[in-house]
């Protein structure tokens, strides 16, 4: 039996609430909607840390960030951590990464056989926060409200350039797979095509901006007064300067319109890749997974970007379609660490090949429409705007958030989907809150974790200073390219080259 291919199409900072597939009234995402209509939509999918690099390292490794010390955007992703790319390669897959994965450290492959683009962000320790000076901003890298104020339309940005390259490189690699298959290759493929949109800055090309009108753009549903925010949310607001730099209604609407425009742009990339699968004859044998590394608050609660465990920040879209995947909606809580064991099951692997303990479970039972007794997602935040670890447990319809320095938070998402009312101090929920608090104490040694985070920050600050002084070659990935072997060259027979590149190949008349 032929193993199915796997294609993961990943967005950056895409909140599912802003897609048509998840019910937004004006979002134009026809390609994601089509996949959801013929596959499984997961309605309670979460990242394991609401920040780019930690979330992606959890996604790749199937492990929580505290297990692999993936605390922030400048944490090294150690080469010794096995990833699903390693396991799938061991299972006979041809593997490729096109686009962003925010790998930090000298290993820029992490099990991928091919990597066809560079990354969009630096791969060193420049973004290391400092919990010993928690109010200090890294102004070169930290978000602020100027990004929101500059939202609008442009013909080109560095993000548009990047995503156009990611899409082209991914499609070319898929055609090369098809060309090799026409020559007799039989290996299935596993590709991650990872785009930067709709991540801020909220700037869109005119054709996507013009899909929307100002009067159709809804404003944030819930913006409480500053004094009513929980302490962690207030620290994030202060850190991104949202508490001191006011935004006009017009600026908020403009940013949300540009965000929706870029959601549609990302959706167009889904469409291009699905069409390519069809063109190479692999659509019916490919399981497609669309997801994101985290969401975007986009003004909800007065917050922007990510870095909190509120729904717009911590939830991600997760849509699966392809052979063996049923049509429907899965309501169980799941998270990105569940994708590694999912891919192992798809590829015919099992727990015996797992090198490190993993924190997820396979989602294939849910994808097949079967019952799953597990209804849980666990996440951690250990990066900027904090000075103590923050933990989240989503179980059933309840979400519990804990930080040693802050009051606990408890929300019943079935009755309060927008998290207006913190139930942690409600006498009616006292027993539940106490049980969650006890569970947090069992799962984590928060004080020891904080000590380790600070220790890694100190070492990384020292190493970054040395690297800035020239102690190391840059780790930024440079895709290999040998022009002497591309297209048609003097040492080639051009008719052979033309036949190699043509797909589908010309039929062999003698066959």
Q: Write the CA distances from 272 to 32, 117, 385, integer angstroms.
A: 12, 18, 38
Q: Where are the beta strands (DSSP E) in 221-298?
A: 286-292
Respond yes or no on whether the N-terminal peptide bond of residue 11 is cis (omega within 30° of 0).
no
Helix H or strand E encompassing 332? strand 328-335
Task: List residues with catalytic annotation.
Answer: 52, 102
Using the 8-state DSSP alphabet, how is residue 48 labeled? S
What is the CA 411 to chain-centroid distance, rounded? 24
> Contact at 8 Å (CB) between 96 and 180?
no
Q: Under DSSP, is residue 399 helix (H, G, I), strand (E, B) or coil?
A: strand
The span from the CA of 300 to the CA of 385, in Å, is: 18
Give the H or E element holding residue 335: strand 328-335
Coil vs helix vs strand at 276: helix
Around 488, how many Cα atoms within 13 Å sit in the side-chain half-sphere?
A: 9
3-state secondary structure of 498: helix
409-412/94-99 β-pairing: unpaired
Contact call for residues 429 and 423 (beta carbons, < 8 A): yes
- How many beta carbons lie within 10 A of that of residue 378, not counting itself? 21
User: How far, in Å, are 7, 92, 188, 321, 446 from residue 1 at the CA level?
Assistant: 19, 14, 12, 19, 47
User: Residue 413 contacts by C-beta under 8 Å, 6 or more apart in sequence?
Assistant: 311, 397, 398, 399, 419
């Amino acid at each position: 039996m032929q193993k199915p291919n796997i294609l993961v199409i990943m967005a950056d900072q895409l909140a599912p609430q802003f897609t048509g597939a998840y019910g937004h009234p004006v979002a134009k995402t026809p390609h994601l909607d089509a996949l959801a209509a013929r596959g499984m939509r997961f309605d309670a999918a979460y990242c394991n840390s609401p920040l780019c690099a930690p979330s992606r390292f959890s996604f790749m490794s199937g492990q929580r960030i505290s297990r692999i010390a993936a605390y922030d955007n400048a944490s090294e992703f150690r080469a010794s951590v096995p990833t699903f790319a390693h396991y799938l390669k061991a299972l006979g897959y041809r593997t490729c990464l096109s686009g962003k994965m925010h790998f930090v450290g000298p290993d820029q492959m992490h099990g991928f056989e091919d990597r066809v683009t560079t990354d969009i962000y630096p791969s060193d320790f420049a973004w290391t926060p400092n919990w010993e000076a928690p109010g200090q901003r890294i102004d070169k890298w930290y978000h602020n409200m100027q990004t929101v104020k500059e939202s609008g339309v442009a013909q080109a940005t560095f993000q548009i350039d990047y995503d156009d390259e990611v899409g082209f490189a991914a499609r070319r690699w898929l055609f090369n797979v098809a060309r090799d298959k026409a020559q007799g290759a039989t290996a299935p493929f596993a590709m991650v095509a990872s785009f930067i949109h709709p991540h801020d800055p909220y700037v869109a090309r005119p054709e996507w901006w013009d899909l929307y009108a100002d009067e159709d753009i809804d404003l944030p549903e819930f913006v409480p007064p500053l004094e009513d925010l929980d302490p962690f949310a207030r620290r994030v607001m202060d850190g991104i300067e949202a508490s001191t730099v006011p935004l006009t209604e017009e600026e908020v609407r403009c940013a949300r319109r540009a965000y929706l425009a870029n959601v549609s742009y990302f959706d167009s990339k889904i469409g291009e890749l699905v069409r390519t699968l069809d063109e190479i004859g692999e659509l019916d044998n490919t399981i497609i997974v669309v997801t994101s590394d985290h969401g975007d608050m986009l003004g909800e609660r007065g917050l922007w970007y990510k870095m909190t465990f509120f729904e717009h920040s911590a939830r991600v879209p997760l849509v699966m379609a392809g052979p063996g995947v049923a049509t429907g909606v899965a309501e169980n809580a799941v998270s990105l660490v569940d994708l590694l064991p999912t891919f192992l099951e798809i590829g015919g692997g099992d727990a015996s090949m797992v090198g490190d303990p993993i924190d997820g479970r396979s989602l294939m039972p849910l994808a097949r429409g079967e019952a799953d007794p597990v209804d849980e997602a666990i996440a951690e935040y250990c990066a900027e705007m904090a000075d103590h670890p923050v933990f989240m447990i989503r179980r059933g319809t309840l979400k519990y958030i804990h930080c040693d320095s802050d009051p606990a938070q408890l929300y019943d998402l079935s009755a309060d989907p927008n998290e207006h009312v913190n139930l942690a101090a409600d006498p009616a929920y006292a027993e539940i809150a106490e049980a969650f608090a006890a569970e947090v104490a069992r799962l984590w040694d928060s004080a020891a974790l904080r000590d380790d985070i600070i220790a890694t920050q100190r070492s990384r600050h020292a190493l970054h200073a040395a690297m800035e002084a020239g102690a190391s070659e840059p780790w930024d990935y440079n895709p290999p390219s040998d022009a002497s072997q591309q297209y048609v060259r003097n040492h080639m027979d051009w008719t052979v080259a033309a036949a190699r590149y043509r797909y589908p190949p010309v039929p062999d008349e003698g066959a």
